[in-house]
Amino acid sequence: MSETRDQDLPHVLDHFLNPRNVGDLPNPDGIGEVGAVACSDVLRLSVRVKDGRIVEARFRAYGCGAAIACGSVATELIVGRSLDDALRFSNDEVSKALGGLPPAKAHCPVLAEEAVKAAVRHYLASSQ
């Protein structure tokens, strides 16, 4: 986040300093773990599903502050969604919820999108 001043990204800073839903869910229904080789960021997201909806989500992020913020906001955005809706989850939603990110951090919302979709796909594959 060094490309811009912290005060220019208040939502990113808030989710970085006070991340929501941190950790792993015990006995999750689905897990998605993705990484960006270019910057060594890794995002792991676990979900609990009930009646076809995500009822709980937690994340772990290894990497930059923007990756942590994206994981945090993604968990807030997906709880309550149907599985079909979660499979349409977009990195644009993460970026907008955070008020935008510098171009150098554009990969972080993509990680969040990929982790959400991977967790849902894991759930769908393991529940058959």
Q: What is the average pLDDT across 48-76?
A: 96
**Greater model confidence, 9 or 68:** 68
Q: Is 94 helix (H, G, I), strand (E, B) or coil?
A: helix
For residue 107, the Cα-to-chain-centroid distance in whole angstroms is: 12
Q: Would you identify the CATH topology of the domain 6-126?
A: Sufe protein. Chain: A (3.90.1010)
**Greater model confidence, 40 or 32:** 32
Spatial contact of 59 and 97, defined as CB atoms under 8 Å apart: no
User: How many percent of the chain have pLDDT more than 70?
Assistant: 91
The pLDDT assigned to 40 comes to: 85
The pLDDT assigned to 117 comes to: 98
pTM score of the predicted model: 0.91
Q: What are phi and psi of 102, to 5 degrees?
A: -65, 155
- Residue 64 in this model has a pLDDT that exceeds 80: yes
Spatial contact of 42 and 62, defined as CB atoms under 8 Å apart: yes
Determine the Cα–Cα distance for residues 116 and 34; give it in Å rounded to an integer.
Answer: 10
Mean pLDDT of all residues in the chain? 91
**Given pLDDT bands bounded at 50, 70 and 90, which one contains residue 38?**
low
Please identify every residue annotated as catalytic. 39, 108
The pLDDT assigned to 67 comes to: 94
Q: 14-31 b/e with 16+ CB inside 10 Å = b?
A: bbbeebebeeebeebbbb
